[in-house]
Amino acid sequence: MPAPCELRRRVLCDLPPHPESQYILYWLTATRRLERNHALDQALDWCTKLNKPLVILESLRSDYRWSCPRHHRVLLDAMAEHIAAIDPCKIRYYPYVEHEAGAGKGLLAAMAQDAAVVVTDRHPGFHFPAMLEAARKQLKVRFEVVESVGLLPLDVAPGPLPSAYVLRRRMQKNLANWLGRTAADDPLTAYTWGRAKIRPQIEARWPEATTEELAPAMRLESKIPLAYEVPVTNWCGGTRPARALLDRFIEEQLPRYGERRMEATPTSGLSMALHYGFLCPSTILDATLASSDTSRAHILPELAKRANLSRGSRAGWWGLSEQVETFLDQLVTWRELGHRFADQNPDCERYGSQPSWAVATLDSHRADAREFAYTREQFEQARTHDPLWNAAQRCLVREGWMPNYLRMLWGKNLLTWSQDPEEAWELLFHLNNLYALDGRDPNSMRGITWVFGRFDRPFGPERPVTGKLRPMSSVNTKRKMALGEFLDRFNKVERLFS
């Protein structure tokens, strides 16, 4: 097993491990997979050092922001997958699903009473930083957090991130040192410490979820208080379905990746799997390299040679085909830009946190007459004058995704047709994070704040309402994309909400 990566680890409570305790506790939260997971490796490393068994706790609250059957379903799928994968390894896995808001309070602290060390995932997005801070205040045991977010550890090569170019250059200089250091592929196979016992009082007060309860056939409505107007989709959660999606993408879609970005279909469709942590970016990288008959080991010496010559150029750095390089730029530069920015700027979801030129230009156009203006309900129910905007919104509400390019247009038009930029900001976060399966991610922030000028530059000539922000229009988009089928399909939807 590779040595746990020190630069990915932070110690939040620096106490010595309890010698008399029963187990090592891994609280699985953001990295919802059992492979290539640095936090899991770290927990297993403690099992080896202290000769103690592992307990994996995975719990699901019901009252997190934007909680709804759509998000819940994929998380329950992953828990069911974990029961099946962990049970044969004789590790105590404890899945817990809250059936009423607040019922799970106290579970982590109770389980930590018998733990020598608690290890969990570190993630810069959504509620994870606040959750870690709350846990840190409660726990009276050694508490370590380990991130498995990107190819480069979050704490390596930090610094201001005004643009993707700046990060691309930094990544190109540093990646060769890190690409060889992935977490273990199959960390549970060598486990030998047996199944730990959980106190009966814990099992009685917070009963663990059974396979039957997690199965798709279970009617969520009957059990858990959620926003039921956001129904489940056909997407399944867990690493196995995510791998199947990856295989299909590599075989069928990657060879046309550049063109597919302008089609009204999911390009890889992997953002949901990345968001929930079902897949590690290095797994996607490996599959991508294999499709070009190469591997990390093979290209590493070349990347190391080129590192100091890097000019941050988008094409040519990997030495692979244009389609593959375009995909890797999204997976590496753009994805990691959002995560690093969120990590360094905890207030980046506040209106006004975008660059000052962008705030100023929107301010100076507040009083402009809007050619079209809609209420929150009209936007949510896809009742604007624009069939393309409505189709994109319907796709989001019904299926939990939106074509890549349309996502930008969707955001820009909503801003242009809103009464004021603050209202648009709040509504975009709400719609994106409630309906999109990949929502509530650092890249939700990256995408939405881009609409308002973040990671972009001023554009002329200045326009009404959006001033110097980069403009986009449905008319131009229709010229660039083949949209006939997409418009037919989603504009046929008569009732968006039942």
Ligand X SMILES: Cc1cc2nc3c(=O)[nH]c(=O)nc-3n(C[C@H](O)[C@H](O)[C@H](O)COP(=O)(O)OP(=O)(O)OC[C@H]3O[C@@H](n4cnc5c(N)ncnc54)[C@H](O)[C@@H]3O)c2cc1C
Interaction of residue 37 with ligand X, rule CB under 6 A: no
Which residue lies nearer to ligand X by CB, 44 or 272?
272
Nearer to ligand X, 76 or 451 (CB): 451
Q: Which stretch binds ligand X (CB under 6 A): 80-88, 105-113, 265-273, 367-375?
A: 265-273
| Residue 124 binds ligand X, judged by CB under 6 A | no
For position 275 contacting ligand X by CB under 6 A, the verdict is yes
DSSP string, 119-148: EEE--SSTTHHHHHHHHHHH--SEEEEE--
**Least distance in angstroms from the C-beta of 105 to ligand X:** 28
Residue of 83, 307, 408, 487 that binds ligand X (CB under 6 A): 408
Binding of residue 235 to ligand X (CB under 6 A): no
Tokens of 269: 């469709």
Residue matched to tokens 């150029």: 313
Return the number of the residue (21 or 326) whose C-beta is nearest ligand X. 326
Identify which range of 185-193, 229-237, 328-336, 380-388 contacts ligand X by CB under 6 A: 328-336
> Could you tell me the two tokens for 352?
């006004």
Q: In this structure, what token pair is assigned to residue 456? A: 């972009």
Q: Identify which range of 112-120, 263-271, 314-322, 458-466 contacts ligand X by CB under 6 A.
A: 263-271
Q: With contacts defined by CB under 6 A, name the span among 36-44, 83-91, 185-193, 404-412 that binds ligand X.
A: 404-412
Residue 14, helix vs strand vs coil: coil
Residue 454 sits in the site that holds ligand X (CB under 6 A): no
Least CB distance from residue 406 to ligand X, whole Å? 9
Structure token digits, residue 178: 């890190």
Among 270, 285, 392, 465, binds ligand X (CB under 6 A): 270
Tell me: does residue 271 bind ligand X (CB under 6 A): yes
**Spatial CA neighbour of 50 closest among 74, 81, 16:** 16
Asked whether position 330 contacts ligand X by CB under 6 A, the answer is yes
**Distance, first Cα to last Cα, the chain:** 51
Cα→Cα distances 363→17, 97, 360, 366, 468, Å = 54, 45, 5, 5, 11
Using rule CB under 6 A, residue 353 touches ligand X = no
Q: Give Cα separations from 2 to 46, 180, 188 (angstroms).
A: 14, 10, 13
> What are the contacts of 153-158 at 24+ separation with CB within 8 A?
153/5, 153/7, 153/8, 153/178, 154/8, 154/122, 154/124, 154/339, 154/340, 154/343, 155/7, 155/8, 156/7, 158/340, 158/344
Contact positions toward ligand X, by CB under 6 A?
261, 266-271, 274-275, 330-331, 334-335, 338, 404, 407-408, 411, 432, 436, 438-439, 441, 443-444, 446-448, 450-451
